[in-house]
Amino acid sequence: DAGITQSPRHKVTETGTPVTLRCHQTENHRYMYWYRQDPGHGLRLIHYSYGVKDTDKGEVSDGYSVSRSKTEDFLLTLESATSSQTSVYFCAISDRGTGAGNTIYFGEGSWLTVV
Amino acid sequence: AQSVSQHNHHVILSEAASLELGCNYSYGGTVNLFWYVQYPGQHLQLLLKYFSGDPLVKGIKGFEAEFIKSKFSFNLRKPSVQWSDTAEYFCAVKDSSASKIIFGSGTRLSIRP
C-alpha cells in the first residue's frame, strides 16, 4: 500500500464549526486529491493539488478549501460544517498527473459526521 | 467535461456465475481508464488499468476489462465470481492530458454463497 495517512479517521462535529482533515504522504508524489464518497454518487472530486501551493477545484468544491504548504501534506478545511458535508473523505495521490502511467492511490478514509 | 456512467447500481449473482459490469465514459480524446474495488469498510484498491496497447486488460483476482473505443466503454468481466468478490466497483477515467481522475457512481456487487 502507498504511504498515505489520513487524520482524523473519525470525527463528529457540530454544524457551523470549522473542520480540518489532514492527508500525509511519504511517497513524494506530486499530485494529491480530496474526494468525498456518498451513496449513489460514488466518489466526487473536491479539490486537487498539482504541486506545493498549486491547487484547483474539483466537481464539488463549494464550502471547502485546501492548502498544500509541503509536498507531503494536503489539508482539507470545511469552513463552516453543514449536515450535507457528512460523508467519507478520501485522500489520494498519484505520481504523474499527465500522460500515460498515472495511477491514483487512496488513503483509508476519514468518516465525518456533522450534527 | 468528461463523465463516467455505471448503469448497474446493484448486481446480485450466485457463486460461479459470470460477471460483466458496464462502464461508459464521455470524452473524445485520449483517455486512461481504471477499475477500482472497495471491499466493505476498506479504501479503494486498483483492480486494473488501461493506458494504451492491447484493449483487453488483465487485472488482479481474475478480473479483466475490454476497452472498446467506438463504444466509449470499458466493461469489467470475470468468468466465475466468488463470495469474496462482494464489494463496490468503481470505473474511472482520466483525460491523458489532465491531472484529474473522474469516477463513476459505483456498482455494488453482492454474491450469494
Q: What's the 3-state SS for B36-60?
A: EEECCCCCCEEEEEECCCCCEEECH
Q: Is B43 in contact with A94 (Cβ distance < 8 A)?
A: no
Contact A21, A75 (CB under 8 A): yes
- The stretch B4-25 carries a mean pLDDT of 95
Phi, psi at B42, each rounded to 5° = -115, 170
Q: What is the mean pLDDT of residues B9-18?
A: 96
Residue A102 clears pLDDT 90, i.e. is over it: no
The whole-number average pLDDT for the span B13-38 is 92
pLDDT of A48 over the 60 cut = yes
Residues of chain A positioned with their CB less than 8 A from the CB of B51: 100-101
Whether the predicted pLDDT of A98 surpasses 50: no
Mutate one of B30, B100, B107 to test the A interface: name it (highest A CB count within 10 A): B100
User: Is residue B34 within 8 angstroms of chain A, CB to CB?
Assistant: yes
Q: Which residues of B touch A99 (CB under 8 A)?
A: 96-97
Question: In this structure, how many other beta carbons lie within 10 angstroms of the beta carbon of residue B18?
Answer: 10
Q: What is the mean pLDDT of residues A47-66?
A: 94
Give CA separation, B62 vs B59, B83, B106, B112, in Å: 6, 14, 20, 19
Of B43, B49, B100, the CB nearest to A103: B49
Nearest Cα of chain B lies from the Cα of A94 at a distance, in angstroms, of 9
Percent of chain B past pLDDT 70, that is, above it, reads 96
Q: CA B41 to CA B1: how far, in whole Å? A: 31
Q: Do A35 and B103 touch (CB under 8 A)?
A: yes
Predicted confidence band at A39 (pLDDT cuts at 50, 70, 90)? confident
